[in-house]
Structure 1
Amino acid sequence: MWGWVRERDPGLLVVRRAVRVTVVACLGFYFCRYVLGSAGMAPYALFGVVALGALSQIPGSPRQRARTLIAVLPVGWVLVTLGTMLSVSTVAATAGMFVLGFAVSFVGVGGPRLVGLAAGMQLLYILPCFPPYDPGSLPERLAGLTLAVVLLAVAELVVWPDPVPPPYRHRLADAVTALAGCMRAVADDRARLAELLPEAADRADALRPSRLPPTERPASAGRRDRALSSAAGTARLLLGRVVDLYFTDDREAVTGPAAATLLRAAAGCVAATGDWLRADGPVPDTARVTAAISDFRAARMNTDPNGLPPERLHLGALALSLGEWTKQVVLAVRIVAGEPPPSAPPGQFWYAYEKTPYLWWHRLRENLTPRSVAFQGALRLAAALAVARLIAGVLDLSHGFWVLLTILTVLRASAAETRSTLRPALVGTVAGSIAAALLLLLGLDPLVYVIALPVVMIAGFAAGPLLGLGWSQGLFTLVITLVFAQVTPVDWRLAEQRVADVLIGAAVGVVIGLFAWPRGGAGELQRAVATFLSSAAAVVRETVAVMAQGRTPGDALPAARGAGQLAEASYALYQSERRGPAPVDWQAALIAGHHAVRGAEALVRSCPAGGLLPCVAQLTALAEDVAASYDRSAAKLMRGETPPRPPARTAPQEWPDDLGQDLYIIADLRVWLDGLREDLINITGRPEPGDALRDRVARVADGAT
């Protein structure tokens, strides 16, 4: 038996949590009920622990979770107070349920810590918002909640505490250290890349949100998490660039030695970044790679490219883009360290100098739209809870809060997923209710309930993650029976009421799920990614127009950044849903959009505008070809279809070879556009979350062999 548990719960995290919650809940409940003799205080001492210990998923180390619990205690007081006061009537309680249900859920856009607390905080309003209307009991209720939170915070530190999870920055450190080794290999010994690249690909893959529990993703609105996420995304792009360099012929490359020097400098900066992330070195800076980029540009200026075929300029352009993206990784990590760049122009690091309250407000404001999956999810849940509260009030259900608790349990992001939870939830509830009715019919000594409660509670809290929702619902029904049997006189009809309430809650959840954005994250993800790719197409056209014709930059880049943020939010919700393989690699689609935006920012920042008129026709045609492919992919996604692979390249155009230094700028642009085309190819034909990088890794190994 123990071996089976360890197999399903390797770190015993589920068992640890079940034990902690049970110890604290029973200690608080028994102390209030049998020592203080307070029947009003005892349920809040128990359900306060259930709300914040069982229903909530608080990330971080035991110490961080304890601090979070103490920090949210005042919010809990407010919710219990409002629930108590608004229980004066069904209308007031229902209105409060809708407003608070939406607000508590919607603030989860601020990050995983708030998302993890949402369900538990909902329960703190649900429990007191039912009759009897008794404002005089508020001090007892608040005292019970306070006791629960304080005991739970202490238990996080002393009752079989969880091991400290590896911080995200250590994952990032592993990825960038492996990346630095690959960069050195490309510069000095390409044969070694074949043995280094698989590990580097695994390390980079570990940074993907789909590979991380929701509580461990750097997804908060603060500067630190924004910068960590940016550094991780850029590191993955860098690794793909390293593979591109491997397949680039370097035998006749112009400024090859300077490119190798630039790669070594970039590798050194990336390695220093990894050292700091592990606390093994000082905060990295960009001085070395900036100097290497300047030296490389100087080497290019001192090398006349006239008369050279474009292929001989390709490697240098790739190396330069790699150096520029290395700077982006270092700058992001410096923001994590609290040392933002000297200036914060509109762009990737716009948040570096903004105050934390503004960043939170900005996150809330950008999601306050029906196109935001966070807004949709919050509105869906608020409507379901409000309808359930109204029905419970109209029907005068004696334990109506069970109806709303069922909503929190079964309602999922999509209608299909909600339906999938119904059968186990109903079967488990019915089975648990039958067992509870038999228990009550036996007329056992009350001491039996006292002894049985902690045993059943541990099993119930561990059963959900280990055995499934049905077991969890069945055992939780027994827990509720054992609790109420010690608070008020009950008979077997309590089990009957439990089944009826669960059926009502399940029916409300299904109906709301069918009418309110029934496709969940998948439907909005298609729309959001399509909008992002369409915005990226505008970025491609505008960037070439600025650099070739000297046009003034418009709003294409800001619009694409905003579209990218909504697409990332949609993808985050999609990852939380249970789905089979998809015909679209959504991660690759997002990377295609981000590559367009970040590449455009770097090109516009580093290259003169309007100096490429002699080959404006060729550049415009190439950009239009890439942008049209982005538009086609966006149109297909908007219709719910799989994007097509970009058409084969047309016959090579005649490019001028007598433009002097402008030939290098043209090479930089062409490398960017060619990379975007490759990104679009990576979107289709691979099950999500596949990664085309692995195909190229295999090609490196095959080539070495």
Structure 2
Amino acid sequence: MSWLRRHDPNLMAVRRAARVMLVACLGFYFCRYVIDAPAMAPYALFGAVALGALSQIPGTPMQRARTLLAVLPVAWVLVSLGTLLSFSTVAATAGMFLLGFTVSYVGVGGPRLAGLAAGMQLLYILPCFPPFDPGSLPSRLLGVTIAIVLLAIAEVVLWPDPSPTPYREKLGAAVGALAGCLQAVADTWAGDPTGRDRLAALLPEATEAAEALRPSRLPPLQRPASAGRRDRALSSASGTARLLLGRAVDLFFTDEKGSVTLPAATDLVRRTAECTAAAAAWLRGDGPLPDTTHVAAALTEFRVARMNTDPSGLPPDRLRLGALALALGEWTKTLIFAIRISAGEQPGHPDPTPESARPGPFWYAYRKTPALYWHRLRENLTPRSVAFQGALRLAAALAVARLLAGELDLSHGFWVLLTILTVLRTSAAETRSALRPALVGTVGGSVVAALLLIGGIDPTVYAIALPIVMLVGFAAGPLLGLGWSQALFTLVITFVFAQVTPVNWRLAEARVLDVLLGAAIGVLIGLFAWPRGGGGELHRAASTFLTSAADVVRETVAVMANGQQPGAAMPHARLTGQLADASFALYQSERHPPASVDWQATLLAGHHAVRGSEALVRSCPAGGLLPCVEPLTALSSDVAERYAAVSAALSRHGPLPASMPPPLELSWPTNLGQDLYIIADLRVWLGGLAEDIGAIRGRPEGLDGLRGRVAQLADGAS
């Protein structure tokens, strides 16, 4: 028992296996022995296996139960199509390809849909094989209905799993820690001698809270990754919170002495701390929903204070702190707005983003939920999307398997397709790693099954042994690995068929041959269809994203310095950033040797360029910096070239630049009046980008390297 507690602390695997076993056996025995419906019994059992064991449904027990009941009509459609298309191999194969792609591809809509994909595939696979018997369709549908309804009830009443910590609560902890850091900054600037020490003590805690929001630190089913408005807003709020923490670290290393707008900046940071604290309280369920009015008023007052302070003749370093404080306030306003959207609030006005610059940062807030899911499906319908690649790879493998199973007249051909669902991974290397344990386990289980069948055991023994083998088999996968899972599942299938139809030892032989065929198809498809998986696509996607970010850098300076009209750089960068994030999410689900690239920091560099540009273009007037066009253009070109150099290295899978050149030494005018503030804002943004792109080789540790460590959390991929 102690071993089990170590490997499954909350007995999650055992709870789940027990629920599936009880539902599957109850449905199977009721159909087979109580109402004597042999055609219904396998569907009652495999329906529970499909949606209980093969599917991963996120949420609380009640949410999982509602999800199961919601997909019941889809299950009816899949079973019906499989039954009606089984009249010919060609029709069943065509249906397998179309439905296999569709069921897998819609998983791009979020973890809930993705978690259901494998189980829903099985609901078509099982009935799409002969015999062609439309008359049995009502029995099959009733069997699946029994399974799903019982499973939904079991999720709530049979050893329900403890609810995971909500993402909103994790975000509240990070935002609350950030509020403490900002308050310490404001106290330091106000003359409190303990402020800087408090900030240094708070930053590690805030860093850890922000680390907990990283996608790589969260199970896939707990990430806010659906296409709906709420998850998009939570993801945006998370990225903004990490970005704010990175800027708080910048303030930690910024000398406030001599800053020309120190009193106004102190007031602005203090009020942003109050706003973030209010946001954290709401996220924890301890306060009212925060409003953007307070931080908007603070920003207005700060700008008025800057306007009333002539910066002429002052060196640029004395303007840096005010520029950082302004960026902090703008991103706090963005954070509050995102949190309000996650709470279900509908903005009361049209999207203010100019038509030429759309989609804006909160474009999704102005669209209905069905439109958002449709948009997610359309934007990923490209060979460059990892969701599209994965769906097409799986559909092709399943269709080839169905065709061969029909042409070879395999007696239990659905095992071939079930093997593909088990072993096919996102890359050829991952598929090969899953292949050996699957084959060894299947052969071992088949040998035991053959010995039992040769012995001529009474079917009653199989009925008694089925629940025990099923319980151990469903728990073995997470606890002991794929090999044990396959071995015991082979016995489960043998015990089921031994109670439905007459069988002999050749059933075990057929199981081995079918698994070998399915494994061969999976390996070949994995070799020919995007064999590098997430790793290969991530290099290309990140390279494209950084190239787009470089264009954003150049365009932003051209807009603000020359008054040029915004072009397509920003919308294109947002789209490439979404594809890069999707590739990174897939990459994290695979096993890889230690990488020479810090992918989190790489995507950070792109997201920082996009988000910083949004804030600058929105808050600063376009044009008017003609006297400073030359140094600004030189600085933006330098930053853009750094991005381009890293992009080129990623594109060719080559080594990253050994080192970045030192920052440009440029001469800046001091006689431009209020425009000097805008120049300071631009310089802070460009300087931060240069640091970000230079930090993708490693992560400094310890308090001395805290700036580099926390900056990598800022605006990370979600």
Distance 2:664 2:642 in 1: 17
Deviation at 1:642, TM superposition (A): 3.4
Partner-residue secondary structure (3-state), 1:383: helix
Deviation at 1:651, TM superposition (A): 5.0
Distance 1:698 1:588 in 2: 10
Deviation at 1:650, TM superposition (A): 4.7
Partner-residue secondary structure (3-state), 1:281: coil
Residue 626 of structure 1 aligns to which amino acid in structure 2? V
Q: Of the candidates 300, 306, 314, which is equivalent to residue 300 of structure 1?
A: 306
Partner-residue secondary structure (3-state), 1:432: helix
Q: CA contact under 8 A between 2:635 and 2:664: conserved in structure 1? A: no
Q: Deviations over 1:20-77 (max 9, x none)?
A: 0000000000000000101000000000000000000000000000000000000000
Deviation at 1:410, TM superposition (A): 0.0
Deviation at 1:214, TM superposition (A): 0.7
Q: Report matched runs for 1:478-627 at 5 Å.
A: 478-627=491-640
- Normalising by structure 2, we get a TM-score of 0.95
Partner-residue secondary structure (3-state), 1:682: coil
Residue 611 of structure 1 aligns to which amino acid in structure 2? G
Q: Deviations over 1:228-277 (max 9, x none)?
A: 00000111111010001110111111111111111111111111111111
Q: Of the candidates 394, 398, 406, which is equivalent to residue 393 of structure 1?
A: 406
Q: Of the candidates 281, 288, 293, which is equivalent to residue 287 of structure 2?
A: 281
Distance 1:513 1:544 in 2: 45
Q: CA contact under 8 A between 1:645 and 1:684: conserved in structure 2? A: no
Deviation at 1:693, TM superposition (A): 9.9
Distance 1:651 1:229 in 2: 35
Q: CA contact under 8 A between 1:457 and 1:479: conserved in structure 2? A: yes
Distance 2:703 2:107 in 1: 33
Q: Of the candidates 336, 339, 353, which is equivalent to residue 342 of structure 2?
A: 336
Deviation at 1:445, TM superposition (A): 2.1
| 1:135 matched residue in structure 2 | 134
Q: Report matched runs for 1:86-235 at 5 Å.
A: 86-188=85-187, 189-235=195-241
Residue 595 of structure 2 aligns to which amino acid in structure 1? A
Distance 2:563 2:325 in 1: 26
Q: Deviations over 1:489-538 (max 9, x none)?
A: 11111111100000000000000000000000111111111111100000
Q: Of the candidates 671, 695, 717, which is equivalent to residue 682 of structure 1?
A: 695
1:691–1:113 Cα change, 3 Å? farther
| 1:47 matched residue in structure 2 | 46
| Structure 1: segments with no counterpart, 5+ residues | 701-705
Distance 1:332 1:693 in 2: 31
Partner-residue secondary structure (3-state), 2:328: helix
- Normalising by structure 1, we get a TM-score of 0.97
Distance 2:158 2:169 in 1: 27
| 2:478 matched residue in structure 1 | 465
Q: CA contact under 8 A between 2:695 and 2:708: conserved in structure 1? A: no
Partner-residue secondary structure (3-state), 1:170: helix
Distance 2:16 2:130 in 1: 32
Q: Of the candidates 255, 268, 278, which is equivalent to residue 262 of structure 1?
A: 268
Distance 2:362 2:370 in 1: 17
Residue 240 of structure 1 aligns to which amino acid in structure 2? G
Residue 258 of structure 1 aligns to which amino acid in structure 2? A
Deviation at 1:296, TM superposition (A): 1.0
Q: CA contact under 8 A between 1:240 and 1:693: conserved in structure 2? A: no
Deviation at 1:699, TM superposition (A): 9.2
Q: Report matched runs for 1:307-456 at 5 Å.
A: 307-343=313-349, 344=351, 345=353, 346=358, 347-456=360-469
Residue 442 of structure 1 aligns to which amino acid in structure 2? G
Q: CA contact under 8 A between 1:585 and 1:683: conserved in structure 2? A: yes
Question: Does residue 1:56 correspond to 2:55, yes or no?
Answer: yes
Residue 304 of structure 1 aligns to which amino acid in structure 2? D
Question: Does residue 1:238 correspond to 2:244, yes or no?
Answer: yes
Q: CA contact under 8 A between 2:380 and 2:388: conserved in structure 1? A: yes
Partner-residue secondary structure (3-state), 2:694: helix
- Which deviates more, 302-311 or 401-410? 302-311
1:691–1:496 Cα change, 3 Å? farther
Deviation at 1:654, TM superposition (A): 1.2
| Structure 2: segments with no counterpart, 5+ residues | 188-194, 711-718
Distance 2:205 2:11 in 1: 28
Q: Deviations over 1:400-455 (max 9, x none)?
A: 00000000000000000000011100000000001111111222222211111010
| 1:703 matched residue in structure 2 | none
Q: CA contact under 8 A between 2:100 and 2:121: conserved in structure 1? A: yes
Deviation at 1:694, TM superposition (A): 9.1
Distance 1:342 1:154 in 2: 41
Residue 338 of structure 1 aligns to which amino acid in structure 2? G
Partner-residue secondary structure (3-state), 2:561: helix
Q: CA contact under 8 A between 1:197 and 1:697: conserved in structure 2? A: no
| 2:706 matched residue in structure 1 | 696
Residue 377 of structure 1 aligns to which amino acid in structure 2? G
Deviation at 1:695, TM superposition (A): 2.9
Deviation at 1:470, TM superposition (A): 0.3
Distance 1:459 1:14 in 2: 10
Partner-residue secondary structure (3-state), 1:683: coil
Deviation at 1:580, TM superposition (A): 2.3
Deviation at 1:653, TM superposition (A): 1.2
- Which deviates more, 399-408 or 587-596? 587-596
Partner-residue secondary structure (3-state), 1:558: helix
Distance 1:327 1:586 in 2: 28
Q: CA contact under 8 A between 1:550 and 1:609: conserved in structure 2? A: yes
Distance 1:569 1:651 in 2: 35
Q: CA contact under 8 A between 1:682 and 1:692: conserved in structure 2? A: no
Residue 13 of structure 1 aligns to which amino acid in structure 2? M
Residue 113 of structure 1 aligns to which amino acid in structure 2? R
Q: Deviations over 1:652-679 (max 9, x none)?
A: 2111001111001000000000000111
Deviation at 1:342, TM superposition (A): 4.2
Question: Does residue 1:641 correspond to 2:654, yes or no?
Answer: yes
Distance 1:522 1:353 in 2: 34
Partner-residue secondary structure (3-state), 1:309: coil
Partner-residue secondary structure (3-state), 1:296: helix
| 1:19 matched residue in structure 2 | 18
Distance 2:464 2:544 in 1: 58
Q: CA contact under 8 A between 1:179 and 1:270: conserved in structure 2? A: yes
Distance 1:695 1:395 in 2: 63
Residue 474 of structure 1 aligns to which amino acid in structure 2? A
Deviation at 1:302, TM superposition (A): 1.3
- Which deviates more, 344-353 or 369-378? 344-353
| 1:291 matched residue in structure 2 | 297
1:650–1:326 Cα change, 3 Å? closer
Say which structure, 1 or 2, has more relative contact order (CA 8 Å, 6+ apart).
2
Deviation at 1:634, TM superposition (A): 0.8
- Which deviates more, 439-448 or 418-427? 439-448
Residue 135 of structure 1 aligns to which amino acid in structure 2? P
Q: CA contact under 8 A between 1:592 and 1:679: conserved in structure 2? A: yes
Deviation at 1:697, TM superposition (A): 5.3
Residue 164 of structure 1 aligns to which amino acid in structure 2? S
